[in-house]
Amino acid sequence: MDLDYSWNMVVLNVLSAYKDDNNNRIAYDGPDILGVRIEFSGAGNTLTVAQNVRIDKLTVVFDCDNGTMSMGNSRFGRFSGWIRIGQDSEVRLGENVTTTNTCVISAVEGTSVIVGDDVMLASENELRADDGHAIFDVHSEKRVNHSENIIVGNHVWLAKRAVLLGGARVGSGSVIGFGSLVSGAVPNNCVAAGVPARVIRRDVAWERPHLSLSRPYYKPDASSITKSDYWATTAAEEPARPYAVVSDIAGEPAIVTFGTEAEARAWLKENSSDAEAFPLLKRAEADKLLAAEKASRI
């Protein structure tokens, strides 16, 4: 095993079982895999890799402390990725997650990027729970680009250059179109495309056999396809309520949600004389604030 201790960083170039004095560890009992790069800069980080994983290229960077990453087994295809894991953050890849080329995944500030089973990533895909740098409002000095979790269901296909940003949630069986940008919820078994991505077709299913690499070379219907378990109709979407405030209700902190910004600001005007007391937030930000407020009262 090659070790590089320069700059207080440990760099491993072989995937094998490992543990150091800073409680960084790799849990893996399969054959050694060469050509990887695993960086540990902090303490208490854990990389867990299934025994039958199939890796093409892999770089995992643990920048801080208490980060976790896990990779499931692979029956077909390979995975290539450049992955950053920050403080208290998690990246979880299910079984049979494959890539055509190297994908980029980033999770910092206590966020998670969760990818389900049988997910197919094409080329130049990115899953970024964070923006990499903080942006602040110059008047309030409050942060405006908070990091948010990303959740990808089972049997999802991200086409080339599709990007998922913090807050993206993609339901099982769905397809994200070429060059699309997702930062919100996409339901199951649909096609979403565009910047920002919008649902353009519902009640669809897709399968892995390639149009020119798998017989028959014309596939006008599903008669030649072995259907997976992910054939389903698209579930009805719940009404979107993307705006929220955290307020005291009956003496307890709670989230109040709104369908439009106008509704939210009308509520603020009626219920608060101090805008700082009830700031307008994205729902995910409100969830974090509510958890912090409840914790402070324990």
pLDDT tens-digit map of 252-269: 667 677 666 667 777 777
- Just list the catalytic residues: 133
E-assigned strand segments in 28-128: 33-40, 46-49, 55-62, 68-71, 79-85, 90-93, 98-99, 103-107, 112-115, 120-121, 126-128
* pTM: predicted TM-score of the whole model, two decimal places: 0.79
Helices (H) then strands (E): counts for the chain = 2, 27
Mapped onto helix, strand or coil, the DSSP state of residue 241 is coil
Question: Is the pLDDT at 87 greater than 70, yes or no?
Answer: yes
Question: Is the pLDDT at 276 greater than 60, yes or no?
Answer: no
Q: Residue type at 278? A: F
pLDDT tens-digit map of 96-112: 999 999 999 999 999 99
Pairing label, strands 169-170, 150-152: parallel
- Per-residue pLDDT at 60: 98
